[in-house]
Amino acid sequence: MSPMDHNVRNELRRHIELSDPDDGTLAGAMDLLTMDACRWLRPEEVADRSEVSPLVIAKLLYRHPSLRAMAWFRLATLMHRRKVKVLPGILQRRLLRLYGLELVPGTKIGGGLYIAHPVGCVIVVESMGTNVSLMGSVTFGRRELLRWPVVGDRAFFGAGCRVLGAVEIGARAVIGANAVVLADVPTGATAVGIPARVLPR
């Protein structure tokens, strides 16, 4: 990895840490869930937070299983941050059994995660930014080393894509359906194919 790539990766991590209110408090967990709910009010954009009242969140939770899955994840992560034993693991199994979603409590995921179809999604990342969109059957995982992807803000992942290893997906990057990403994707770029290649702009 070149010094420039290393600096970009560190800057991306720093930005995610500054923008993520996941501080282990109930207020922080509710803030993240509110950001998640904003995506379900209008999935094609990020709704203004002033439009998302507690009543609106309750209605969205009733209508959308994916948002309910995120609520369970936020609760499990809150418990994990507070070092509560056993319960985070129980909630993790609930996510898998009820929603088909594999997501480890404590994973650093920014608010506004939109998962169109949670069944078959496996999300094992080093960190994920805000307002990321996953269509369905998306997998994030490792390759040989114990290192996982870093995902920037507002990245989009098409159905069936795979992102494997210590790769960096830049902010606003688009990963096409069924692509297999094995290398970094720059900010704002589109990657398609097996293995994925970045399309010229």
CATH number of 3-198, picked from 1.10.10.10, 2.160.10.10, 3.40.50.1980, 3.40.228.10: 2.160.10.10
pLDDT 10s digit of each residue in the chain, 201 long? 554 455 545 554 444 444 446 667 888 888 899 999 998 887 777 777 778 888 999 999 999 999 999 999 999 999 999 888 899 999 999 999 999 999 999 999 999 999 999 999 999 999 999 999 999 999 999 987 788 999 999 999 999 999 999 999 999 999 999 999 999 999 999 999 999 999 987
Pick from 164, 165, 191: which is nearest to 179 by CA? 191
Sign, CA torsion 66/152/199/42: positive
For 79-135, what is each residue's pLDDT tens digit?
999 888 899 999 999 999 999 999 999 999 999 999 999 999 999 999 999 999 999
Give this prediction's pTM.
0.83
CA distance 77 to 146: 21
Domain boundaries in the chain?
Answer: 3-198
Angle between helix 87-99 and 65-81 (nearest 10)? 160
